[in-house]
Amino acid sequence: MKKSIRDIEVTGKKVLVRVDFNVPLDPKTNEIMDDSRIIAALPTIWYLIEHKARLILCSHLGRPDGQVVESLRMTPIAERLSQLTNLPIYTVSDCIGLKVNKALAKLKNGDTLLLENLRFHPEEEANDPAFAKSLAELADIYVDDAFGTAHRAHASTYGVAKLLPAYAGFLLEKELKALGNLLTNAQHPFAALLGGAKVSDKIKLISNIIDKIDVLLIGGGMAATFLKAQNYGVGLSSVEEDKKDLANQIIDTARKNNISLLLPLDVIVADAVNDLSKYSIAPISMIPANKYIVDIGPQTIELFIGHLKQCRTIFWNGPMGVYEIAQFSRGTKSMAELLANLSATTVVGGGSTAELVAEMHLSFKMTHVSTGGGASLSFLEGKTLPGVEVLLDDK
């Protein structure tokens, strides 16, 4: 494990905290649509405020590609954070330089300053040493609480941590513990419920956990490749032809290791992938050649529920269908509702799955909902995360 902010005296110190405030904004109003990531950082923020640190928060927002984009300024984030803490959150129109130094000079113990969007500078994603040095010079201590960017070696996640005493925040610590337990300490039966568009996105994950799980359930777009590999027709659905052999290898490995691998028994098919298209249920042996698979069917939902109810640990990543369209969301929402009401350890692996659970107001009923889609997958694939590796070890 890594050292956390509990392991250092922070009173009176300038503490630079890398948070992940990359929240979705309404394109019309620029209002925050989901503040889950801000709320997730509050334990670390409160700890530092209560221990009288001079708190400097930094984050990226969106993809400004190294340019100043007015709609991606951190102003709405500061306003929401101020509402949540009932405290003033000071802001500045840059993240390095003279303006920031002037703002820092006014900062008192227990105050919070939110820097401007890091990615307004192209040097951030390039992990530019001079940019990292400029950030490091703002503070005495560095804290990484941005698990969502821990798989990136950027200036604010890696470069700065090389230059300052670097510690984990409480959210990062929580993520590492919850996901680490899946790999080393999961209670059995242990199921992995995987969906999403592509097999290629999940191959390394499956390879790393296949010897740790008891049940593997596959839905979403990636199921089409598995079904095609088993010689079923999948209509107009996208198939990764170059991954069919790999899909069969996974099926064979599961069989040899007595792992229950469940593919859909039936699916919802539609003329087109939009909310006006006609749709129907089809068994996998009778998928029409002129239709798209858009969700798992009712038989499959019951099959998946039956197996998941018997499990003591469940990891879920990826929707079961085109959940953004209401009539194609039943499979995904059924899985969310089931997991929310089980007594098992339930871990949701970030990204679109986490967003859906938040939209359904079920996050609090899960054991853990990861704030990092790509980071959680990288971690469970067995990869070293640069933003974690660089922090001080707890010896």
Do 296 and 219 contact (CB within 8 A), yes or no?
Answer: yes
215-218: strand order across its sheet: 260-262, 215-218, 190-194, 313-317, 345-348, 368-369
Do 183 and 155 contact (CB within 8 A), yes or no?
Answer: no
Which of 135, 176, 105 is CA-nearest to residue 17?
135
Which of 163, 142, 161, 145 is CA-nearest to residue 153?
161
Neighbours of 66 (CB within 10 A): 14
Residue whose entry in the numeric block shows the structure tokens 């659970």: 357
* β 112-114/54-58 pair status: parallel
Neighbours of 42 (CB within 10 A): 15
Backbone angles phi, psi at 140, to 5 degrees: -100, -30
Q: Is 164 helix (H, G, I), strand (E, B) or coil?
A: coil
266-270: strand order across its sheet: 279-283, 266-270, 292-296
Q: Which residues are catalytic?
A: 37, 198, 351, 374
Q: CA-to-CA distance for 146 and 74, rounded, in angstroms?
A: 16
Do 80 and 38 contact (CB within 8 A), yes or no?
Answer: yes
* β 54-58/14-18 pair status: parallel
Q: CA-to-CA distance for 356 and 203, rounded, in angstroms?
A: 23
